[in-house]
């Protein structure tokens, strides 16, 4: 197996992250429908404009990691976690920065923040259905409702996982998720994830329990007929005074 290692993200990774993440999601036929006749290269370009700002928002609660192929230096996977609302209540930014500090995006200057926000606002990220066609985004309305119904605990949320399609089935998703599981055990937090079909097997292998699922017919939006979303959690044993 190639030597993949886990690292923190910086805004300098933005273009590589955009290419990795958009290429990964482009293999999801339902996600591609959102973009109509736009190309993968166009979506990557727009995502790259948005990524620096996204990495710098909510640094107190977001944690980001990348998997790098040490042979090439290439980013081949990305994962984002979100600490629960209310965690760190009363803590200073410095104290929050001690919680899983190695996965916090490094701070940048005020000027760099302004430039990141300007790039973000310049991106063409609007995706509307062509006239006369249904909005495929509506298919996620019941998904969000179910997520709100199930997500009642104080969870460490696995918010985003993407492995480049050229590097799948090499254990990259597993090592990224395992890194977060170790941190969840330190914090005593169960993990929640809303998973697509492509990632479902990874989570089950790592001991996640299926809470519920929604399978919808997406053919009316131009899809292949099945859109599956899976709601899973992983319990952990150790508790901590951080929560």
In a domain, 240, yes or no: no
Q: What is the pLDDT of residue 88?
A: 66
Provide the pLDDT confidence category of residue 6 given band limits of 50, 70 and 90.
very high
| Residue 17 reports pLDDT greater than 90 | yes
CATH of the domain at 148: 3.40.630.30
* Total domains in the fold of the chain: 1
In a domain, 242, yes or no: no
What is the per-residue pLDDT across 195-231, written as a single tens digit (0 to 9) for each?
A: 998 899 999 999 999 999 999 888 887 778 788 899 9
What is the per-residue pLDDT across 47-65, written as a single tens digit (0 to 9) for each?
A: 999 999 999 999 999 999 9
Q: What is the pLDDT of residue 144?
A: 92
Q: How far is CA 74 from the centre of its chain?
A: 19
Q: What is the pLDDT of residue 133?
A: 65
Q: What is the pLDDT of residue 224?
A: 80
| Residue 132 reports pLDDT greater than 70 | no
pTM of model > 0.85: yes
Distance CA 126, CA 135 (A): 12
Q: Are 67 and 78 a contacting pair, CB within 8 Å?
A: yes
What is the per-residue pLDDT across 152-168, written as a single tens digit (0 to 9) for each?
A: 889 999 999 999 999 99
In a domain, 32, yes or no: yes
Cα→Cα distances 136→34, 130, 160, 216, 233, Å: 6, 11, 20, 12, 27
Pairing between strand 156-163 and 74-82? antiparallel
| Residue 129 reports pLDDT greater than 70 | no
Question: Comparing 10-14, 30-34, 48-52, 156-160, which segment has the lowest mean pLDDT?
Answer: 30-34
Q: What are phi and psi of 191, to 5 degrees?
A: -110, 140
Q: Are 190 and 236 a contacting pair, CB within 8 Å?
A: yes
In a domain, 243, yes or no: no
Structural domain containing residue 18: 4-121+128-234
Choice between 240 and 145, residue whose per-residue pLDDT is larger: 145
How much of the chain, in percent, has pLDDT values that exceed 90?
67
In a domain, 139, yes or no: yes
How much of the chain, in percent, has pLDDT values that exceed 70?
93
Distance CA 185, CA 188 (A): 5
Q: What is the pLDDT of residue 238?
A: 66
In a domain, 35, yes or no: yes
Joined tokens for residue 5: 């290692």
In a domain, 187, yes or no: yes
Joined tokens for residue 177: 């998720």
Task: Work out the mean pLDDT of the chain and round it to a whole number.
Answer: 90
Provide the pLDDT confidence category of residue 94 given band limits of 50, 70 and 90.
confident
């Amino acid at each position: 197996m190639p030597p993949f290692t886990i690292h923190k993200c910086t805004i300098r990774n933005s273009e590589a992250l955009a290419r990795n993440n958009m290429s990964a999601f482009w293999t999801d036929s339902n996600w591609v429908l959102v973009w109509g006749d736009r190309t993968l290269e166009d979506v990557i370009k727009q995502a790259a404009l948005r990524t620096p700002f996204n990495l710098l928002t909510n640094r107190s609660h977001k944690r980001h990691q990348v998997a790098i192929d040490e042979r090439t230096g290439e980013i081949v996977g990305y994962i984002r976690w979100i600490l629960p609302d209310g965690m760190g209540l009363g803590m200073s930014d410095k104290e929050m920065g001690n919680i899983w500090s190695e996965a916090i995006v490094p701070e940048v200057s005020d000027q760099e923040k302004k430039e990141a926000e300007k790039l973000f606002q310049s991106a063409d990220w609007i995706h509307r259905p062509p006239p006369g066609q249904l909005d495929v985004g509506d298919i996620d309305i019941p998904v969000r409702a179910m997520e709100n119904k199930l997500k009642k605990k104080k969870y460490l949320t696995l918010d985003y996982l993407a492995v480049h399609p050229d590097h799948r089935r090499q254990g990259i998703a597993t090592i990224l998720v395992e890194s977060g599981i170790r941190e969840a055990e330190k914090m005593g937090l169960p993990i929640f994830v809303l998973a697509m079909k492509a990632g479902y097997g990874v989570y089950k292998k790592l001991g996640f329990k299926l809470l519920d699922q929604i399978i919808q017919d997406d053919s009316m939006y131009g899809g292949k007929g099945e859109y599956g979303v899976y709601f899973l959690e992983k319990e952990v044993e150790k508790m901590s005074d951080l929560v």
